C-alpha cells in the first residue's frame, strides 16, 4: 500500500471512528425518569385562622422549643412532607419577628429528622425595612444559603412580591439567587395568576409558582374569593407552563374546606399543596410510572440509537443491518475503508455494545 493510500485510509478511519464513539457515548448514557424536587410536596403553613399560628414563624426567636415541638407533631399528623419557614420578618401584623440566627441550622436538621423538609421563604411582606434595602437583603440571603443550603429542599424568593417589587426586580433577584444554589426557587404573588395586575412576567425564570388563590371565609378579613373563582385562577395559572404549587387558599389548613380544595387542586394539575389536603398523590411520580421508566429504559435507549443510526447512515453512507439472536435484536454498522481496513459497531437490545475493527493482509 502506498503512503498516499495509507494516509487516505487513516483519515477515513478517523471519520468513521468519531461517529462510532459518539454512538457508544449515547448508548452508555443512562435513561432515567425525573420529577421536580418539590413535586408532591405537602405543607400546612396556616392554621386556626390566625397568622400567629403559621409555620412561617417557626424560626422566630420568640418561638419556644416546646411550641416548635407542638408544630412538628401537628404538621406531621396532617400528612405534611414539607414546612414553610421565614428566614427574616420585620412585620408586626400578628406574625412573629424573625432574623437570622446561628441556631437556625440545628432547627433545620431537627425538622429533616422528623420528616418535614424545609422550604425557606426569603422575603416577607409588610416589611419595608427589608424589601427597601436590596444590598442588606442580598447579604442576608447569602448567609442563609451559605450556611443552610444542604438542609433545604427549596426556596421561595418573596411572599407577595408584587406588593413591593417590580417584575424586573424579581427577575433580577431570582437570577442572582440561582447563581448561589441549585435548589428550586419559587415565586409567590397576590391572589391570581400574575398577582394583582395579572402580570405573569413576575414568574420569568421561576422553577415553581407558589400560587395564592385567596380566602373564602369572611372571618379572614381579606377580600372574599369564591371557590369557583379560586378554581378558575388555578386553571388559568396552569396555562403558564410552570409547575404550580397551590400554596395559599385557606387560613386553616386543617379545615374541611381547605382539604377539599387542596384535593381538587391536586386532581386538576397542581404538583403540591401548601395549605391543606386529605390525599397524598399530588404531582409526584407514582411507583407505577417509575417502574415503567425503569423497565423500558432500554427501549428508550434503543430509540435514541435508531435515530443516531439514521443520522450516521445518511451522513457517512454506512450500511446498517439488523439481526435477532436469542430473542434480542442487534443493530450493526460496518464500513469497509479499503481492501485492508473495516470498522464497525454493534448495539444490542440487551445493552451490549461492541466496537469492531478488521485488518486484512
What is the residue-level pLDDT of the chain in tens, covering all 361 positions? Answer: 543 444 444 444 444 443 444 334 333 433 333 236 899 999 999 998 887 889 999 999 999 999 999 999 999 999 999 999 999 999 877 689 999 999 999 999 999 999 999 999 999 999 999 999 999 999 999 999 999 999 999 999 999 999 999 999 999 999 999 999 999 999 999 999 999 899 999 999 999 999 999 998 776 667 889 999 999 999 999 999 999 999 999 999 999 999 999 999 999 999 999 999 999 999 875 544 444 444 454 544 554 555 555 545 555 555 656 555 555 555 666 667 676 767 676 666 555 666 666 666 6
Residue in the block written with cell 422566630:
60
Amino acid 62: pLDDT: 94
Ordered DSSP codes for 290-351: HHHHHHTHHHHHHHHHHHHHHHHHHHH---EEEEEETTEEEEEEEEE-SSSEEEEEEEETTS
Asked if 330 contacts 353 with a C-beta cutoff of 8 angstroms, the reply is no
Amino acid 91: pLDDT: 82
Amino acid 234: pLDDT: 97
Amino acid 98: pLDDT: 96
Amino acid 49: pLDDT: 82
- Rounded Cα gap, residues 138 and 348, in angstroms: 53
Asked if 47 contacts 77 with a C-beta cutoff of 8 angstroms, the reply is no
Amino acid 21: pLDDT: 40
The secondary structure of 20-70, three-state, reads HHHHHHHHHCCCCCCCCCCCCEECECEECCEEEEEHHHCCCCCCCHHHHHH
Amino acid 92: pLDDT: 73
Amino acid 284: pLDDT: 74
Domains along the chain with CATH numbers: 3-32+290-359 (no CATH), 41-284 (3.20.20.80)
Q: What is the DSSP letter of 271?
A: S
125 Cα distance to chain centroid: 25
Strand partners, 122: none
Report which secondary-structure segment, H or E, holds 210: strand 208-212
Amino acid at each position: 500500500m502506498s503512503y498516499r493510500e495509507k494516509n487516505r485510509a487513516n483519515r477515513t478511519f478517523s471519520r468513521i471512528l468519531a461517529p462510532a464513539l459518539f454512538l457508544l457515548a449515547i448508548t452508555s448514557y443512562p435513561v432515567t425518569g425525573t420529577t421536580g424536587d418539590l413535586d408532591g410536596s405537602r405543607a400546612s403553613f396556616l392554621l386556626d385562622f390566625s397568622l400567629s399560628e403559621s409555620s412561617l414563624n417557626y424560626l422566630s426567636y420568640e418561638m419556644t422549643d416546646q411550641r416548635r415541638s407542638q408544630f412538628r407533631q401537628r404538621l406531621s399528623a396532617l400528612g405534611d412532607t414539607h414546612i414553610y419557614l421565614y428566614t427574616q420578618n420585620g412585620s408586626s401584623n400578628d406574625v412573629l419577628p424573625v432574623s437570622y440566627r446561628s441556631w437556625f441550622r440545628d432547627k433545620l436538621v431537627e425538622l429533616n429528622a422528623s420528616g418535614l423538609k424545609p422550604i425557606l421563604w426569603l422575603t416577607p411582606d409588610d416589611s419595608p425595612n427589608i424589601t427597601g434595602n436590596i444590598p442588606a437583603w442580598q447579604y442576608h440571603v447569602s448567609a442563609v444559603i451559605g450556611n443552610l443550603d444542604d438542609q433545604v429542599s427549596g426556596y421561595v424568593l418573596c411572599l407577595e412580591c408584587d406588593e413591593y417589587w417590580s417584575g424586573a426586580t424579581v427577575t433580577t433577584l431570582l437570577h442572582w439567587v440561582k447563581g448561589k444554589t441549585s435548589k428550586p426557587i419559587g415565586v409567590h404573588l397576590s391572589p391570581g395568576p400574575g398577582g394583582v395586575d395579572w402580570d405573569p412576567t413576575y414568574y420569568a425564570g421561576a422553577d415553581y409558582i407558589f400560587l395564592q388563590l385567596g380566602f373564602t371565609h369572611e372571618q379572614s378579613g381579606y377580600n372574599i374569593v369564591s371557590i369557583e373563582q379560586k378554581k378558575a385562577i388555578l386553571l388559568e395559572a396552569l396555562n403558564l407552563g410552570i409547575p404550580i404549587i397551590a400554596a395559599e387558599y385557606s387560613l386553616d389548613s386543617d379545615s374541611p374546606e381547605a382539604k377539599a380544595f387542596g384535593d381538587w387542586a391536586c386532581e386538576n394539575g397542581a404538583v403540591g399543596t401548601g395549605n391543606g389536603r386529605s390525599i397524598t398523590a399530588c404531582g409526584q411520580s407514582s411507583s407505577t410510572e417509575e417502574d415503567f421508566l425503569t423497565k423500558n429504559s432500554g427501549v428508550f435507549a434503543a430509540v435514541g440509537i435508531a435515530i443516531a443510526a439514521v443520522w450516521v447512515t445518511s451522513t457517512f453512507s454506512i450500511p446498517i443491518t439488523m439481526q435477532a439472536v436469542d430473542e434480542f435484536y442487534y443493530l450493526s454498522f460496518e464500513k469497509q475503508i479499503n481492501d485492508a481496513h473495516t470498522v464497525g459497531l454493534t448495539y444490542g437490545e440487551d445493552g451490549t455494545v461492541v466496537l469492531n475493527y478488521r485488518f486484512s493482509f
